[in-house]
Amino acid sequence: MLLSRSAQLLRQQAPSLTGCRSSSPSLTWRSLSFYDTRFRQLAAQPVHSFGLDDLVAFALKRRLTKSLLIKSAQALQHALPIRMARRIDDMNRLPYIALMNPHMQEVYNTYAEVCEKMMDFPTVKTVSDEAHWNILLKESLDAGKRVLPALAKASKEISPHVEVDVLTNFLDTFLTSRIARRVLAEQHLALHEQLLNPANRDQHLVGVIDLDCDPTQVCRNSYEVAARVARTSYGVAPKLEVHIHGPENFKFSYISRHVEYMLLEVFKNAIRATVEHHLSQKGAAFDDSDLPPVVVNVYDHKSSTSFQVSDMGGGMSEKIESQIFDYAFSTVHTDTALSGGFNTGIMDIANRPMAGEGFGLPLTRNYADFFGGSLKLITFEGHKTDVVLKLHHVRREDYLDRLKKDILKPEEVDTEALAIADAAAKASNGETASSSRQENDGRASSLHG
């Protein structure tokens, strides 16, 4: 296969680039050889989509046993490298100037290294194999924390040189794929822990999926974080009102951490708009009681749960509304003034360690879309904004009935498997401690991802 013009230029410039000083990890020929045959061949293989139903059904179709975990690990061994290779291939197809960005090279390095380790890992056949595979999974999740801040920086720097549609499509695909990989990895690791430590397992959890997710509690958890940061930035924060429309104390099934992240991003924008709008009107200091509350209406349905978040923050113009889900708008141009500073204060906190993800509302919409939900915004300029987060979930009652029949009841604590897992973890910690110090030496601290 003939190399693209970008790849040819990369090869020509590789010697000089490897000697350059950069803020990214040390550049190697691997990081600059964007057309690796192994990755191309792997990326050509098909991938299969999955939903919450699939994840729960896999765990519930049999008792949670070692054989189930081995089968799960084997499935991940096949799926995860393909998904990563596809993203590497996507990076290969970006314009030359994007490929040469040091932050994009850091993203590429991370993906290439993790993908190769997974490709070279022997097929999981025993409990010991699965324990060592889990160490690699945890390492890949940790490595992924560096990706989002690097990707956000790369997007900011290359956006003036790359067409908006090209950058948006790349980021949509890349970030959605990242959600999928992390869900698969975290689900397996959670099932592993639930088997080895049954005494500590909540009966309403199937891996990372909470069959008993409390809408009021997730709202309050997320709002507490957003309000705390608002008080640090502004000294005040509006109060929260939550109204449930459905059976008293109703629950729904979802990955509660995803719900809390999505609501956190929405709340940050609602709080920022409310505080800045009323500050601009009063022109003086005020306290929480002077602010209208952020109101959440939660609507229950047998197959979905919807959160309507309303703020009296003055709304936004049509121009701003049309760009609100644009990565280049919300992540790249962080100095853009929206309604007196939309990307300052609370919105800008999406790019700080507290929020961790770095892409704000566009990424929030990706999370909602991933399991068939949606995130929509309705604004009334000069008055208010409503954001509706709709989440499709599994049929909670069916799965709770199966849990009651002890289909998911684990076997007694497997001390042998637990000992093997502990030994593998200790061995890995000893092997990686020195290398981790070398990798982190001189590297600027990154945002949590």
pLDDT digits (tens, 9 = 90+) for 14-51: 333 333 333 334 444 344 454 478 898 899 999 888 88
188-202, 271-285, 343-357: segment of lowest average pLDDT: 343-357
The rounded distance, in Å, linking the Cα atoms of 408 and 420 is: 23
Mean predicted confidence (pLDDT) in 226-249: 92
Q: Which residues contact 394 (CB under 8 A, 6 or more apart)?
A: 52, 53, 56, 209, 211, 253
What pLDDT sits at residue 3? 39
pLDDT of residue 147: 92
Query: Residue 219 contacts by C-beta under 8 Å, 6 or more apart in sequence?
Result: 240, 242, 263, 296, 298, 307
Residue 110 reports pLDDT greater than 90: yes
Helix (H) or strand (E) holding 300: strand 294-301
Per-residue pLDDT averaged across 157-167, rounded? 90
Closest-CA residue to 82 (of 31, 41, 123) = 41
CA–CA dist 111, 34 (Å, integer): 12
Task: Using alpha carbons, select from 214, 218, 219, 236 the residue that is nearest to residue 227.
Answer: 236
Q: How far apart are CA 202 and CA 207, in angstroms?
A: 10
**pLDDT score recorded for residue 341:** 31
- For the chain, first and last CA: distance in Å? 36
Query: Between 357 and 304, where is the model more confident?
Result: 304
